[in-house]
Amino acid sequence: MQYKNILFLCTGNSCRSPMAEGLLKTRMKNKNVKVHSAGTHAFEGVGASENSIEVMLEDRIDIADHKARILNEDLMKEADLTFAMAPEHLDYVRYMYPKYYDKIYLLRRFGREKEQLDDDTVHDPIGGDKDRYRQCYKILKFEINRIAELLFEE
């Protein structure tokens, strides 16, 4: 299948999913792939967290214009694949949008269904110091590169 629309999902759409969106957008810059993010409990229009912006800029990725969006049915419908940061996001989609549940995966679990992982959650850095955001970014960068290779055969 050709994936043209990728959605990243977290809770507030201010830390993890905007960083993941920025990473994949940067990687897919010259490809015909739309990348979005949303939150299960986002405050519509709020910007990315300051630490997320600063940590991304350390790698020359600018997400300063990001505005949070609440997950809705249109976003789920349009997405070819949705990547959730944590199991509770899968539960939310299973409850709220069950007909799209076959298109959502845990980011760290995608393509590794048979592997044993110590932790399949990308933990929320909200409220943490910049080092906590850097650790989250490091995990996201690894996972985005991994799934880009799986999905787009780079």
| pLDDT, tens digit, 9 for 90 and up, residues 103-148 | 999 999 999 888 887 889 999 999 999 999 999 999 999 999 999 9
Q: Which residue numbers are catalytic?
A: 10, 16, 124
Q: Would you place residue 1 in the very low, low, confident or very high pLDDT band (cuts 50, 70, 90)? A: low
As a whole number of angstroms, the distance between CA 16 and CA 84 comes to 10
Q: Measuring CA to CA, which residue among 18, 71, 62, 82 is closest to residue 42?
A: 71
Q: How far is CA 79 from the centre of its chain?
A: 12
Residue 154's pLDDT band (cuts 50, 70, 90): low
Domain 5-152: give its CATH architecture: 3-Layer(aba) Sandwich (3.40)
* Tens of pLDDT, residues 63-91: 999 999 999 999 999 999 999 999 999 99
Which pTM was predicted?
Answer: 0.95
Integer angstrom CA distances of residue 92 from 3, 70, 71, 87, 131:
23, 12, 10, 9, 29
Structure tokens at 32: 């015909």
